[in-house]
Each structure stands twice: as structure tokens, then as C-alpha cells.
Amino acid sequence: MHSRFPICLVLASVTLITAGTASAQVARLVAQPSSITVTAGDSVLLELGALDDAGQPVEAGLRVSGPRGVMDVRGWYQHGHIKGLLAGDYELIVTTVGDERPVTLRIAVTIHWPPAARIDIHAGGPTLYEGTTLSFTAEVFHADGSRRPNPSVRWTSSDRSIATVDRFGNVTAAQTGPVTITANLEDAESSVTYEVGVFPGGELSLTGGSDSIRTGDVQQFEVTAIEDLPITWTYTVQLAEGVVAPAAPAQVEAGRFVADVPGVYTVIASAGPLSARRSFEVTQRDVVRKVEVMGQGRIQDHYTSDIWVWEGVDGRDYGLTGSRQGMSHAYVWDITDPTNIFKTDSIQVDARSVNDVKVSPDGRYGVLSREGASNRRNGVVILDLANPAHPVVASTYDEGLTGGVHNVYATNDYLFALSAGDKYIILDMSDLSNPTYVSEYNHPDSRVHDVWVHDGVAYSAEWGTGVVVVDVGNGKWGGTIENPVFVTSFPLPTGQTHAIYPYYQESTGKFLLFVGDEIIGRRGLAWQGTGPDVRMAYDPATGRGGYPRVTTGYIQIVDFTDPENPKMIARYEVTEYGTHNMWVEDDILYQAYYEGGVRMVDVSGELMGNLYTQGREIAVFKAHDPIGWIHNAPAAWGVMPHKGNIWFSDNTSGLWSIRLQEKQALVP
């Protein structure tokens, strides 16, 4: 990047921070241009500088930040450009670093969508009869193939006497005859034509479902009717006396029903003048269990990152934890007795952050990820776990990984290491002292944050791109470990795809992906947090720090049984908090939910709707530690079940072990 100003930056997540210290002479910051207007997908050149009282340029350290998901500030570090991602009006904030009274510059950013180029209309069915309704949706694409989120298309009917269409795309036929339904946005337009037929008459009946289910159970109903007859699904509910339910205590879609609130429900299928109904009872799910605290490995002097627990080759159980924010250690814990957790060793590495730690399934080797190394080589550190209580560094590998490794995934034979959030590199781990490069995968125009491998298929979480699926040895799509082959990608609604966990659900025979957001901050929500000092221990000298970070985001559950036709089926959303890492085992979701603590959720059977509102939560534990790094500020980061105990790392207080107690019978 070329600039008239003496500024040197290093990359740090969405915020860019300089390596230097702000000069006391800085009086103001300047930008050229002073405000930014850019089209989503395009970039604009931005020059920043610091001036003294006389208006002369001075050397300064700067922090440059923008809302994640709406603009890309990383490009400014690389080549001086800010990239627009999501249309709207925003602010780019530039602040000096290292000064007690930082100087701040706010730059207005306006991002526009590119023109709409194509509209694809999707109809709710192939046939339209008089007196029936079909729901239409529209996808809008730009000239570069990118998709316009939540487009506000305009719907029209060529003959309202034959069929009308409302602004939501619901088409209702009034009489027989030809009609054309059109969707347009800007200069793009698309139409579909129907010949409205005579309503065929007959009768409807409902089959399937049970007489009694629990909240969260999914009922599947089928309609016996003339083929292609459009069906409208609704329900009514009778609640118990004194129960006040939310406006939508249940949902029904294409015959699938799930309830959040107990009561007597009636599902109704209708088509024109015909209808059929079925009543049944919904009772409380009643899966709540108590949690017993087994032990804690307290860390008081820094920010704890990820965790991995395993059985060592010596038969004892161990935990490995990482650290962030200037502490270049990973710690080994003996956790054989969960009530007596103790450190056995530490491994110091050249890194500002050991964000991720992993151990191979056979316990042969461990991996530490490195970011912020002093020599800027970063890469991974390989641990020989022949003596798991006292690992030795077998090797380091940094070729192609110098931009920093945020996450890794270890199999017995191969290691997948993320390279600067741009791609993942695959290493052969046959010789721990000499890992060798095998191959890599880099999805175009995408940033990767997490990758998990299941049955020779790699599933990666790639922010705005969503889930990316690659054949790395399964072979069904022609991929091998030496030649990864792209299978498909699947965008998620929030555009903040951060973590992923593949899970085969034996009870249904479905293969599910649990996909988590990570949204730091709560911009636009009523509770936006306590300020910028969210990851500092309290400093009595300055009065700064001592607050946990605030987050939002949720878990999205996708049916990937057919990887080429994935379907979003459910979510787990606790709206007050944001998700981080997770684990799924024996139909229980173990979720590290940042300041929402560790949460255990029943994910058995068919899934639909929001699991949080259905009474599927089994237990919640928040790690309040009065003498933790940040006092009494739970911030769960990673979680793993192991031998009947639940192990998790907490940002502000270290390693914890808890156990679910057996469910107690109700006593009258």
C-alpha cells in the first residue's frame, strides 16, 4: 500500500491495529476521501494520516475498524482499499493506539447494491385452481452472479379478475383462465404464466401424527387429495387455564408441525372450500437436569482460549488449553480425577495467541496454532504426546502459514491448518518431526474460520459464504487427500458463519450440520454492552476493563443428508447471547455460548423451529469465578464431553468440569 503518511499496520481480526505507538503530537486524523460511497462487491482506495498541531504528518499507530459483515477493512492493510459487502449507511472508525487520550476519526460509509440483473421466480406448486392460493418467492441476482439478500420485489398480475397477487407473492385464483404473474425490481423482470383450472372438488383427509406429543416433537401429517392441489396449513390451540402463550406458540409448514407451548392443538389443511383437521395434545418436554460442578483448573492471569481433552497413551486423561492476548503458553492438565484437576506442564511458544489446540484421535500428537509470532512466521507447533503429561515439541511448520493459524483439525494421519483465514493446508503427519505438505483448498472470494472432516469430506465455516463442502478422500465426488474437489456451498442467513460440527443422527438416519455464528458486539440491539474494554482484567489505576465481551448469533441446523440438496431445518437461538464452539454427542448439543455459559440441549428426533423455546434445554451452567481473570464474568469458549463429564474452557477463569445429574422423579 502506498501512502503519504508514515503508518505501519498489522492484521488483527476485523480490526486493524498498528505495530507502533501513537505519538503524543497527534492532534487530528485525516482521510482521503473524507467519506466513502461504494457498491457492494467493489473497493475504494482510502488514505489515512495523522497530523500534529501545525498540520504536519506524524508517525502514529492506528486502529481501523468497521462493522463485521458489511465492509471488509482487511483490504486496507493489504492494498489501501475498503470493500463494501452489505448495502446501507455505516461508519468506519479510525483511532490512535497507545495514547491515554486516543484521537478518533469517524468516516461515513455508504454502500449501494449493484443493479439487479436477473430474477428467478419459485412457485409453491405446478397447478393453480380457482379458489386456491399459491405462495411465490423470488431470488434476485446481480450481473456478477451475487445474490441480493431480502429483495423487495414488486408483484403484479396480468388479470386481477382471474388471479390476484399481494406484495408478499401470495397468488389467489378467483376464476378460470390464463394469468401471468410478474416480479420486477429496478430494471430486472421475470414472469410465469398459469392456466387457472376448475376446482376439482372431492374431499380432504389427514393421516399421520400422534395423539400425544411433547413440546419440540415434530408431527408429520399427510393430505389425501387430488394430486397438485395447493394446500394451506394452519392450526388452532386451546391452552391450559392461566397459561399465557406467545403470539405463535407453534408452527406448521407443509404438514410438519412443532409446538413451543403445551396445549390441545388442531392442525387444519385447506384447499378452496375443502378442509380437514386433526386434534392432539402437546405436553411439556420436561428434560431439565441439574448440573454438578466437579472441578476447576483456574487461570487468573490471562485470557483462556480453546480446550481439548483426551485419554493419553498412558491410560490417564488429560486436557490441553490455549491462551490469547500476549500469553504465549499452552497448558497440560491431568484430569483423570475431575475433582482434582492439576497442571502437569506448560509449553511456551513464540506467539501472541495460541487460539486453537487439538489432539489426534489416537492421542499420538497435539497441535498448537500460532498467531502474532515475533518473526511473523506463525504456523503450527506439533507436540509429541508419547509422554502426555510432559509433551515435547516435535516440530514446527510454517510454510504457507505465515499469515497466522486461527484453527486446525487433526486426524490420525493428516492435519488441516487454516492459513490467514484464506485457505486450509493439509499436512501429512506420519513423521511428527517432519510434517509434509500434501495439498490445500482455497474457496474463491471467501474467508475460512473453521473446518471439520467427516468420512473423507471437509466441512468449512466461511463467514459470508456459509458452509463449503469439499471431498478430501471420500471419493464420491472424485476427491482425494492429494486433490480436494469442491462439492457444494450453502449460505447461512446471518452471513457470520464461524464454527461447524457434522453429526450423524442415528434415530432419524439424517446427517446434520450444526453451524454457529460469531457476532462480536450487539449493534442495533437494546443491550449493546458496556464499552470497548471487553477483554481486559480490571485495572484499578485507570478504572478500565473488567467487563466481558458482548455477543449475539445462534446455531443453525442444516440437513446435509444429501450434500447437493441441503435444507435448513431448525435453529438454537438464545437471543441475549452469542455462540462460540460446540460439540454434539448422543443427541445432546453441548454449546459454549460465551457470556450465556455452557448449555446442554436435547437434539433427539426430528428438529424444527427454535429449540430454545421448545423446552429442549437440559441444563445451563455459567462459570462465575470471583477471582478469575475478569471477576464473575462467564465467557464459555470451547466444550467437550469426555467419560461422563463435560469439560469446557472459560475465557475468564480457565478449565472447568461439570456433570449432568440423573433426572430425578417428580415427588407429589
Check if the beta carbon of residue 183 is closer than 8 Å to that of residue 138: yes
436-441 and 450-454 as β-strands: parallel, antiparallel, unpaired?
Answer: unpaired
Spatial separation of the C-alpha atoms in residues 386 and 247, rounded to whole Å: 59
Tell me the pLDDT band of 535, cut-offs 50, 70 and 90. low
143 grid coordinates: 450481473
pLDDT of residue 100: 67
384 grid coordinates: 509429541
Q: Is the pLDDT of residue 64 over 50?
A: yes
The one-character DSSP state at 75 is H
Q: Is the pLDDT of residue 521 over 60?
A: yes
438 grid coordinates: 500434501
pLDDT of residue 78: 63
The one-character DSSP state at 614 is G
In a domain, 218, yes or no: yes
Cα 331 vs. chain centroid, distance in angstroms? 27
Spatial separation of the C-alpha atoms in residues 251 and 249, rounded to whole Å: 7
205-208 and 219-224 as β-strands: parallel, antiparallel, unpaired?
Answer: antiparallel
Residues 320 and 427 in one domain: yes
Residues 319 and 430 in one domain: yes
pLDDT greater at residue 317 or residue 543: 317
Residues 36 and 55 in one domain: yes
In a domain, 138, yes or no: yes
Residues 182 and 218 in one domain: no
Residues 215 and 185 in one domain: no
Q: Which residues contact 232 (CB under 8 A, 6 or more apart)?
A: 133, 269, 270, 271
Residues 125 and 98 in one domain: no
Residues 230 and 185 in one domain: no
Residues 134 and 226 in one domain: no
Residues 306 and 431 in one domain: yes
- Length of the chain in terms of residues written: 668
Structural domain harbouring 325: 302-437
Please identify, among 138, 173, 196, the residue that sits at the C-terminal boundary of a domain: 196
Q: Find where cell 394430486 sits.
A: 227
pLDDT of residue 203: 86
293 pairs with which residues across the strands? Answer: 658
CATH code at position 266: 2.60.40.10
Please identify, among 395, 422, 437, the residue that sits at the C-terminal boundary of a domain: 437
In a domain, 597, yes or no: no
What is this structure's pTM? 0.87
pLDDT of residue 12: 30
Residues 172 and 126 in one domain: yes
In a domain, 187, yes or no: yes
544 pairs with which residues across the strands? Answer: 539
- Three-state SS annotation for 5-65: CCCCEEEECCEEEECCCCCCCCCEEEEECCCEEEECCCEEECEEEEECCCCCECCCCEEEE
CATH code at position 390: 2.130.10.10
CATH code at position 38: 2.60.40.1080
> Could you tell me what percent of the chain has a pLDDT over 70?
94
Tell me the pLDDT band of 525, cut-offs 50, 70 and 90. confident
Question: Mean pLDDT, the chain, as a whole number?
Answer: 90
Tell me the pLDDT band of 21, cut-offs 50, 70 and 90. very low
In a domain, 229, yes or no: yes
In a domain, 13, yes or no: yes
Tell me the pLDDT band of 534, cut-offs 50, 70 and 90. low
> Could you tell me what percent of the chain has a pLDDT over 90?
71
User: What total number of domains does the chain contain?
Assistant: 4
Single-letter residue type at 467: V
Q: Is the pLDDT of residue 175 over 70?
A: yes
Over the stretch 346-383, which tens digit does the pLDDT of each residue have? Answer: 999 999 899 999 999 999 999 999 999 988 889 999 99
Residues 32 and 143 in one domain: no
Q: Is the pLDDT of residue 285 over 50?
A: yes
Residues 211 and 253 in one domain: yes
267 grid coordinates: 392442525
Question: Which has the closest alpha carbon to 610: 259, 220, 245?
Answer: 259
In a domain, 78, yes or no: yes
Single-letter residue type at 636: A
Please identify, among 146, 167, 196, the residue that sits at the C-terminal boundary of a domain: 196
Lowest mean pLDDT among 230-234, 341-345, 455-459: 230-234
In a domain, 221, yes or no: yes
